Chains A and B, each alone.
Chain A
Amino acid sequence: MFGFGESDQRELLHAAFRYALSLTHHPYDAEDLVQSAWLKLLSMKAKIPTKNLLFITIRHQFFDDWRRGKIVTFCPLDDEEPAGCQTASFGMSGDIDALLSELRPEEREALFLHEVEGYSASEISRMTGQPRGTVLSLMHRGRQRLLRLGESEQKRVSNE
């Protein structure tokens, strides 16, 4: 139906979740964001949205909520670590999850769209409604901060 099989829909939802995660950097918030955007689009169009439309809706929803102060990042107090807090190796000893948390949502978003999803700066510019120069700057600054933070983390680990 509409050229979307169930596996395509699942993949679309996973991609949307990863994108939402790049914005919120919190898995529960990302789940809520995807669900909210998905249901909103279905109620409006009653058909499977395209990836770009779903991403844009997630983005708008995120920044609307953010401005209203609804998204509050928190860490669970119990020992069980949620999926989003799992770490991934970066470089020699870097914790990419912790490093990404130091970035602004716009920087994480630009890096995610470019490095993971493979969008060009122009495509990101069109999708996010930001000038291409701003997107390039966000990508550059995000990358530099990650590299800098990673290096300092490496030094700290080696000193210990």
Chain B
Amino acid sequence: MNSDRELQRALKSFYGAKSLPPVRVDHLIQAKTRALRSGRRWQPISLMTITALGTVCTVCLLFGLRHEQQRATERAVCAEVVMSYEKHSPMEVLSSRYSDVQVALNGLDFSIMPVKATILKGYRLVGGSYCCIQGVPAAHLRVRNIHSGEECTLYAVKAVGTLHDVNSTIDRLDGVRVEIWRQDNILFALAERGSERGAL
């Protein structure tokens, strides 16, 4: 062995003559094809995907729970409104003017007058008294349907506490139709037996 160059030539010649047997090469190339075919199906899910899925599931779960809680409150309000409607409690003040009733129920720090034209034109005020909905002080107003002559009850309550999340809804319980709507931060509920038309 004479020189580095000769050594290099010998090494190149030695290793250059070596190759993987063709059978083994074919086998490995086929294995590659199989891996590429199945690779898409068996790729591990990345941490980011798991996190994103987890976040979406959590948000959906929280949203669902919140929605369910909101529906439960709405049903509870409807039930209370119907129960109060059925009691036919006596009025503390009798007047066809909202301003008179408002003055008489001076313990309430919000306006009890609805702005809906359908209420103002379709129902005439008879009187009012205090009541309570879900533990919140409320106005219990007796109104008369001008068209049918039937007495109905209209409730006005400040949307605070559990009532904060209650939205407009229409429900029917024991043959009494309850329509709830919001007017700014005031919640109104109209209870009317057998009525099919809405106040909104």
Contact = CB atoms under 8 A, between A and B. Distances in A.
B4 interface: yes
A72 interface: no
16 contacts: A14-B18, A21-B15, A34-B28, A35-B28, A39-B28, A42-B35, A42-B39, A46-B43, A90-B7, A112-B15, A116-B11, A116-B15, A116-B16, A146-B1, A147-B7, A154-B1
Interface stretch (A63-71, A81-89, A119-127, A128-136): A81-89
Contacts of A154: 1
Interface of A: 1, 6, 9-10, 13-14, 16-18, 21-22, 27, 31, 34-35, 38-39, 42-43, 45-48, 83-84, 86, 88-91, 94, 96-97, 100, 111-112, 115-116, 143, 146-147, 150-151, 154
Interface string B92-107: 0000000000000000
B40 interface: yes
A90 B1 contact: yes
Given A91-B6, A115-B11, A150 B1 contact: yes
Contact of B7 (A6, A86, A146): A146
Nearest to B37: A46
A97 to B, nearest CB: 7
Contacts of A97: 14
Interface of B: 1-2, 4, 6-8, 10-21, 24-25, 27-29, 31-32, 35-36, 38-40, 43
B17 A31 contact: no
Contact of A39 (B12, B25, B31, B43): B31
Nearest to A86: B17
A103 B35 CA distance: 37
B20 A6 contact: no
A103 B8 CA distance: 15
Main secondary structure of the interface of B (DSSP, over half): helix
A133 to B, nearest CB: 19
9 interchain residue pairs of minimum CB distance: A46-B39, A150-B1, A42-B35, A91-B1, A17-B20, A90-B10, A88-B14, A14-B19, A115-B8
B13 to A, nearest CB: 6
Contacts of B11: 96, 111-112, 115-116
Given A18-B15, A21-B18, A46-B43, A38 B10 contact: no
Given A22-B15, A116-B12, 19 more contacts: A1-B36, A14-B18, A31-B20, A34-B28, A35-B27, A39-B35, A42-B36, A46-B36, A46-B38, A47-B36, A88-B10, A90-B7, A90-B10, A91-B1, A94-B1, A115-B11, A116-B16, A150-B1, A151-B1
A46 B12 contact: no
